[in-house]
Every structure is written in structure tokens, then in C-alpha cells.
Amino acid sequence: MNQAHIHLIVNHVPIIGSLFAAVLLGVGLLRQNSSLTKAGHVAVLAAGLLCLPAQLTGAGAAAIVQNLPRVSRALIHNHAEAAELGFWVLEGAASLALLSLLMLKNNSPKARLLSLLTLVAATISFSLLARAGNLGGQIRHTEIREGFGTADEL
């Protein structure tokens, strides 16, 4: 098993994890349910941690596939840039989640505001990571590339 294989196994976790966390946190905040809100914060933290393996195996995966036929270095670069941005936004959301949990524990009046900021950051991270996943898929899944099967693509 090489880094490309590991990357393919783990790269969906941050995308799905950030979506699950945002939905859970959003429902908790909407219903003003402290248990769901806390669970949503923990889910954001977990997504932030589970994003690390995908980020750490990306360069190794790129090194393996960059010389394969029909693999574009530009696509690899675009995917890597998008993934790094999504990674850092998710890590920021995880940091906000940790602060939110501490504020909730201390019954801070600003805990709800920080929880809302965490929700916004988690939602943005999902969007960015979903885009990065799409760009990553285009590296080897030529059927989802713009212009697939046309003379320009061949």
C-alpha cells in the first residue's frame, strides 16, 4: 500500500465529516439543544483531526501519479491548492469548536456567537473540500473533466 492508495482511502472523510459536523451543529443550534450543539462541536473537532491523513498523504500521492498517462500536473496543482485552503479552513473551524466547547462549559454569554461562527467555518470548509475533491477526481477520472472525449482532451 502506497501513499496514493492511502490518500484515496482517506480523502473523502474530511468532506463527509465536515458536512456531518455542520449539519449536526446547525440542528443543535436551531433547536437550542445543548447536547446536539456539543456533539456538533466534537464532530467538527473530529473532522479537523481526520483531515490530517488526507493532507499528509497528498504530496506522496501526487509524486506517484504525476507521470502517469493523461495526468495533468496543472490538475494536481489546482487540487493541491484547493485542498490546502479547505484544510486550513477546517482546522480553523476545529479551533473555533474547541473554544466554543470551553465557552459552553463556562456558560459564557458569547458561546452561542462563537458556535455560530464555528458553524459558518465548518460549512465553508465543506464547500472548499468538496471542490477540492472534485478537482482531485479529475486527475484520474477523465470522464468528469470538461471536454472529455473531444479532440481537445485527447
Query: pLDDT tens, 132-153?
Result: 999 998 888 767 666 655 444 4
Average pLDDT (119-137) is: 96
Q: Taking residues 124-133, what's their average pLDDT?
A: 97
Q: Give the pLDDT of residue 154.
A: 47
Q: Residue 42: which residues within 8 A CB-CB, separation 6 or more?
A: 97, 101
CB burial of residue 101 (10 Å; 0-12, 13-18, 19+): buried
Burial class (CB in 10 A: 0-12, 13-18, 19+), 133: buried
Torsion, Cα 72 78 15 13, to 10 degrees, reads 50
pLDDT digits (tens, 9 = 90+) for 30-67: 999 999 999 999 999 999 999 999 999 999 999 988 88
**Where are the domains positioned within the chain?**
3-143
CA–CA gap between residue 145 and residue 139 (Å, rounded): 8
Quick one: CATH architecture of 3-143?
Answer: Up-down Bundle (1.20)
**Residue 34 corresponds to which cell in the numbers above?**
445543548
- Give me the pLDDT at residue 69, please: 83
At 105, which amino acid appears?
K
* Closest to 83 (Cα-Cα) out of 116, 119, 53: 53
pTM value is: 0.89
**Of the ranges 71-75, 91-95, 97-101, 146-150, which one carries the lowest mean pLDDT score?**
146-150
